[in-house]
């Protein structure tokens, strides 16, 4: 069901404008032709899907808790393939009432190093007691550099305050404005007050134990460190979460662990962006780790909806046109994709 709903949500990339009834393809007829062509370093390539030598596949993949849907055309004989991945929308599960066939463009996703600074609210001197895990060792620093975008969980410790290790969540590059579980935590009278920023169905946890299902509330805690987690769910079963670490002293809030970005500040919202992977001579080249495509667009047109029969799933077929630069994993070798055009499909219902 999750995969199904994600495929549905992908169609929202084609923002609803006018209602289109899907065409029906008679049973036994030939499926639409899926193909790609273009130049790799000025050498022409061209493949058509025939399910004998050239195949089209589709599916889901995940990196750092972020999902994307991919479609891939692969030519078995030459061992070449083009994989197109589109990152999830801000809300994974949405209702589709209208189908839109208007052409539009997507931006390219790219990774970029980003520094984050840990802040301890009112506890100015606490950073000297703070450690986080980097590779296999804990380091004493109030700054961390993340090399890839996504939802990261960083093991942290507080020397002299607690012997426990906490997994602290940092959202890098996917800070939704439509749907997020962030909340305010403040002092009460010998208690901790918590209040969600958005409406929905709420669940609040302290160190994994459920304490409330209201939008806001109050809890009394003994002195110590705690992980406070909020899970927010909407009417279509979209779920998101946010967690922080708080220090309780004399039954009240001493500080909350938060982070802020150091300079430079990277793009906040990377939802519904696209990245490419091309396999050539056994080497995989990707667009994910370069800024070279920052000024390029992934253009979508000729969008059609079809069904093989009245009871079969609805699929969307579209033409993609683009130019892109892709690097291997060493970031020393690259290929240039120019004048690329292809016809692909996704199953959406």
pLDDT at 17: 37
pLDDT at 267: 73
Q: Answer with the residue of higher pLDDT: 213 or 315.
A: 213
Task: Report the share of the chain in percent with pLDDT over 70.
Answer: 85
Mean pLDDT of 250-266: 87
Q: pLDDT, tens digit, for every residue of 154-174?
A: 999 998 888 899 999 999 999
pLDDT in tens, 55-114: 999 888 888 989 888 899 999 999 999 999 989 888 766 544 445 678 889 999 999 999
Which spans in the chain are helix H? 2-10
Q: Which residue has the higher pLDDT, 344 or 96?
A: 344
Confidence at residue 238, expressed as pLDDT on a 0 to 100 scale? 87
pLDDT band for 288, please (50, 70, 90 cuts). very high
Q: Residue 270 has which token pair? A: 């990377």
What average pLDDT does range 253-272 have in this prediction?
86
**Token output for 236:** 């279509």
3-state class (DSSP) for residue 110: coil
Q: What pLDDT, on the 0 to 100 scale, is given for residue 123?
A: 63
| Terminal C-alpha separation, the chain | 10
More confident residue, 44 or 97: 44
All structural domains of the chain with their residue ranges: 2-109+275-347, 114-261
- Cβ-proximal residues to 224 (8 Å cutoff; 6+ apart), any chain: 162, 247, 248
pLDDT at 127 over 80: no
CB-facing half-sphere around the CA of 10: CA atoms within 13 A? 29
Q: Is the pLDDT of residue 7 over 90?
A: no
CA-nearest of 299, 342, 343 to 45 is 342
Record the pTM.
0.83
Pick the residue with more confidence: 189 or 98? 189
What is the Cα–Cα distance from 307 to 27, expressed in whole angstroms? 10
Q: What is the pLDDT of residue 9?
A: 40
The Cα 138–Cα 125 span in angstroms is 19
| CATH 2.60.40.10 applies to domain 114-261 | yes
Beta strands in 64-142 (DSSP E): 66-75, 80-87, 104-107, 114-119, 130-134, 137-139
Confidence of residue 301 (pLDDT cuts 50, 70, 90): very high
Selection from 162, 182, 187, 163 nearest residue 171 by Cα: 182
Q: Report the pLDDT value the prediction gives residue 230, as an integer from 0 to 100.
A: 97
> Any idea which of 3-12, 90-99, 106-115, 248-257 has the lowest mean pLDDT?
3-12
pLDDT at 307: 75
DSSP state at residue 174: B
Task: For residues 175 and 114, give the distance between their C-alpha atoms in angstroms, rounded to a whole number.
Answer: 14
Q: Are 89 and 292 in contact (CB under 8 A)?
A: no
Q: Which residue has the tokens 């240039």?
A: 336
Helix (H) or strand (E) holding 334: strand 334-347
7-33: string of b/e by CB count within 10 Å (b at 16+)?
Answer: bbbbbbbbeeeeeeeeeebeeeeeeee
Region label for 28, one of left (φ > 0), alpha (ψ between -120 and 50) or beta (otherwise):
left
What pLDDT is recorded for position 263? 82
Q: In which band, very low, low, confident or very high, does the pLDDT at 27 lie, cut at 50, 70 and 90?
A: very low
Mean pLDDT of 281-295: 94
pLDDT at 89: 81
**CA pair distance 141, 338, nearest whole angstrom:** 45
Q: Enumerate the β-bridge partners of residue 255.
A: 247
Of the ranges 19-23, 87-91, 125-129, 141-145, which is most confident?
A: 141-145
CB 197 within 8 A of CB 182: yes
Yes or no: say if 270 and 288 are a contact pair by the CB < 8 Å rule. no
Kindly report which listed range (146-150, 260-264, 294-298) carries the lowest average pLDDT score: 260-264
Would you say residue 211 has pLDDT above 70? yes
pLDDT confidence bin for 19, thresholds 50/70/90? very low
């Amino acid at each position: 069901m999750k995969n199904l709903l994600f495929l549905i949500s992908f169609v929202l990339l084609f923002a609803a404008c006018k209602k289109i009834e899907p065409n029906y393809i008679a049973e036994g007829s030939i499926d639409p032709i899926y193909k790609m062509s273009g130049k790799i370093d000025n050498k022409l390539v061209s493949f058509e899907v025939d399910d004998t030598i050239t195949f089209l596949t589709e599916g889901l993949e995940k990196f750092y808790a972020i999902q994307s849907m991919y479609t891939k055309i692969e030519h078995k004989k030459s061992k070449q393939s083009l994989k197109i991945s589109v990152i999830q929308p801000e809300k994974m599960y949405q209702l589709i009432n209208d189908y839109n066939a208007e052409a539009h463009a997507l931006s390219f996703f790219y990774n970029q190093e980003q520094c984050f600074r840990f802040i301890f609210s009112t506890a100015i001197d606490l950073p000297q007691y703070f450690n986080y895990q980097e590779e296999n060792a804990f380091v004493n620093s109030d700054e961390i550099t993340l090399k890839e975008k996504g939802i990261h969980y960083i093991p942290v410790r507080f020397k002299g305050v607690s012997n426990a290790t906490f997994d602290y969540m940092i959202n890098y590059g996917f800070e939704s404005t439509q749907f997020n579980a962030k909340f305010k935590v403040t002092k009460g009278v010998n208690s901790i007050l918590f209040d969600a920023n958005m409406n929905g169905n709420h669940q609040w946890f302290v160190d994994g134990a459920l304490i409330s299902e209201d939008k806001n509330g109050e809890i009394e805690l003994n002195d110590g460190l705690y992980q406070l987690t909020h899970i927010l769910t909407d009417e279509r079963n979209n779920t998101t979460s946010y967690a922080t670490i708080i220090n309780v002293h004399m039954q009240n809030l001493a500080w909350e662990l938060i982070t802020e970005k150091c300079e430079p500040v990277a793009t906040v919202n990377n939802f519904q962006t696209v990245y490419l992977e091309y396999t050539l001579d056994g080497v995989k080249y990707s667009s994910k780790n370069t800024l070279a495509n920052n000024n390029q667009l992934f253009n979508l047109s000729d969008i059609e909806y079809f069904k093989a029969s009245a009871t079969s799933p609805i699929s969307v077929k579209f033409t993609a046109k683009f130019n892109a630069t892709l690097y291997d994993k060493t970031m020393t070798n690259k290929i240039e994709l120019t004048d690329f055009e292809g016809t692909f499909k996704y199953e959406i219902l």
